[in-house]
Structure 1
Amino acid sequence: MERRTFLKTGALAAAATSIAMPAIAQSMPEVKWRLTSSFPKQLDTIYGTAQQFAKFMSDATDGRFQVQTFSAGEIVPGLQALDAVSSGTVECAHTPTYFYIGKEPAFGLGTGIPFGLNARQQHSWWYFGGGEQIINEALAKFNAYSIPCGNSGCQMGGFFRKELKTVDDLKGLKFRIGGMGGAVLAKLGVVPTQIAPGDVYPALERGTIDAAEFVGPYDDEKLGFVKVAPYYYYPGWWEGGAMLHLVINQEQWNKLPKHYQAMVYHACEAANNWMLAKYDAVNPGGLRRLVGQGAQLRAFPQPIMEASLKAAEEYYAETSAKSELFKKGYDSMVAFRGENLLWWQVAELSYDAFMNRLKSR
């Protein structure tokens, strides 16, 4: 009796295994994507975020979903990442959408605009303030779809060869700055230039540009700007919380099984948290080292901040008149910012202000 029972259950188990294994294999197809980053490999936090995403996808699928990462210039230059995705040259890119405001002004909102949102607020606006729908509506015109995949937090204002004292000091200043910050500063006489990260140092060294901003102390130290431009300004009011994206070719996204799409989404969220946490961990030490190397910390003078805010608001009004999608996104962001700043003043800001006193104890 026991032997017959054993044989019966054993046969059922074998049959179940023979059915289940092919089903599992079919539900976990092999996928190989190429990812082009807008950043060089030496920037191990920004470029490293793309690598983290790739690792998360491989780990979650037992290696069946492979993402090969390429730094800027290996397949296409950093500022052409969206073009490579749109054309199908690569399946995806890790890039800030504000690099492409020349194609659609609303892309600036996807990364963050001058005097916009901080990192947490940007993330919240994306999921609960309409950001996701607005930016992906814009990307759909370019055969692409995006998911947030990283944030730098508030950035520094950059390295300047000369000290800034008044608004007049901005006139004629050749400044490497991306996104809408350059358009805003142009209203104050700045000559903005958008140069790929790997080309910034030589331009600053030769005097082709007078100033350059990038991210924050950790990356700025790697790029060596302090050697040729001693004045280090803050805050980077044009990037209060710069969001990066995994921009995916729409056909490639649609081809994925739903559970693979879910894995991509969660891998992006994990990479997003990794990047912000990494910057919060490494920027303090980077700032100390830069000061030790001769960086002279300067806050932007209040008149420059106020003039920049006024110029930004003028620019947004002009851009809203030209782009319905930008206006839709900007109005959404402003409403969201107003609500958030009210809450921030009550809790976050007051707590941070109190706790900041501890650094001197």
Structure 2
Amino acid sequence: MLQSIEVSTGGRLKVTPTHGAGEVVPGLKELDGIHEGVLDMASTCTMYWGDRFGLACNLFTYQIGGLSPTEQWMWSQTEGAALLTEMCADYNVKFIEESAYLCPPEAFLGTKPELKTPEDFKGLRLRTAGDDGVVFTEMGASVCLLSPAEVYESIMRGVLDGYQLSSPGYDYSVAMYEVVDYLYLGPSRQPCEWFPIMVNPDSWAELPDDMKQILIAETHRWGYDHYLMRMQEDLVAIPAFREKGVTVDFIPKAIEEEVVARAMVIYAKRQADDPFFNRVYTSIENFKTAFRDGWTRL
């Protein structure tokens, strides 16, 4: 994307090579880096902003049993972007015209033991993040949040029984096939992942109008191309996990239904307790109902 932006602008706009989490600002603090002018442009999950905005921020990343990747992209292009901007109104940040990186469904879980029923979660030690951690805790699991770099060793040493990290392609790239025996698939736990692309408003204001339009077009294009790239990685990784001796299968229906049912109860309580959460979740549900009235699922 960075090279394409430079070419499209005739060399007038050069974006420095991408810095990973923690290289310029502390990991998960990219929004603060944009707000303070330390970063000009960044992308990250909104679900990491709960300490600032409450639990509604999770909904912009994904919802358990919620929107598919395409649906999330479409909702974000319409009502979602306005709600996200409203949520961040007190921060010095601009979201680039609904541009974002889009990801396919994550793997449901990778585990050492086999999972057959919801009762198998009792006593299970898991690494996860987001609303599914609340659900798994209710189901009897012991849940913690570790950085991806710590997960492999924790399972290898027997500290954890399983993990949730990302899609099969990413999980394969960090050799999780070496420490688990089962990889469970299924879109219900995390149907997608949506990372908004954000800029510092002062940096944005310095760009000529034509370069702004080019940057909008490029980030839109590469955001969706990222979805294609991650999907292609998954299609290679799933059989590769099997070749490494890992049993790959869809999560049993009873577990999937239990997770979604518990999530609906949690979301309903949050709707009752938090007016902004209610507005965002109602917008998502209304969009899903209208969208699927015309297309069963895209």
For normalisation by structure 1, the TM-score amounts to 0.76
Determine the structure 2 residue equivalent to 1:99.
Answer: 48
Distance 1:248 1:225, change over 3 A: same
Determine the structure 2 residue equivalent to 1:153.
Answer: 104
Matched, 1:126 2:69: no
Distance 1:295 1:202, change over 3 A: same
Distance 1:315 1:189, change over 3 A: same
CA contact (8 A) 1:253 1:261 kept: yes
Quote how far apart the aligned CAs of 1:115 are. 0.9
Matched, 1:60 2:8: yes
In the aligned structure 2, how far is the partner of 1:323 from the partner of 1:164?
Answer: 34
Q: Which residue, 233, 249, 254 being the options, matches 1:282? A: 233
Quote how far apart the aligned CAs of 1:248 are. 2.1
Determine the structure 2 residue equivalent to 1:187.
Answer: 138
CA contact (8 A) 1:154 1:236 kept: yes
Distance 1:102 1:251, change over 3 A: same
4+ long deviations beyond 6 Å: none
Determine the structure 1 residue equivalent to 2:61.
Answer: 111
Local SS of the residue matching 1:165: coil
Q: Which residue, 75, 84, 88 being the options, matches 2:33? A: 84
In the aligned structure 2, how far is the partner of 1:324 from the partner of 1:252?
Answer: 33
Alignment of 1:1-361 (within 5 A): 52=1, 54-68=2-16, 69-104=18-53, 105-128=55-78, 130-146=79-95, 147-345=98-296
In the aligned structure 1, how far is the partner of 2:188 from the partner of 2:292?
Answer: 16
In the aligned structure 2, how far is the partner of 1:134 from the partner of 1:99?
Answer: 17
Local SS of the residue matching 2:28: helix
Quote how far apart the aligned CAs of 1:94 are. 1.8
Local SS of the residue matching 2:51: coil
Quote how far apart the aligned CAs of 1:131 are. 0.4
Distance 1:249 1:202, change over 3 A: farther
Quote how far apart the aligned CAs of 1:297 are. 1.5
CA contact (8 A) 1:106 1:135 kept: no
Distance 1:137 1:302, change over 3 A: same
Answer with 1 or 2: which has the greater Rg.
1
The structure with higher relative contact order (CA 8 Å, sep 6+) is 2
In the aligned structure 2, how far is the partner of 1:221 from the partner of 1:261?
Answer: 37
CA displacement 1:204-239 (0-9 Å, x = unmatched): 222332211222222111111111111101114232
CA displacement 1:76-119 (0-9 Å, x = unmatched): 34322222222222122121212223322222122111111111
Name the stretch that deviates more: 250-259 or 104-113.
250-259
Distance 1:309 1:246, change over 3 A: same
In the aligned structure 2, how far is the partner of 1:194 from the partner of 1:63?
Answer: 42
Distance 1:125 1:233, change over 3 A: same
Root-mean-square deviation (Å): 2.0
Name the stretch that deviates more: 334-343 or 324-333.
334-343
Identity of aligned residues (%): 24
Equivalent pairs counted in the alignment come to 294
The letter of the residue matching 1:184 is V
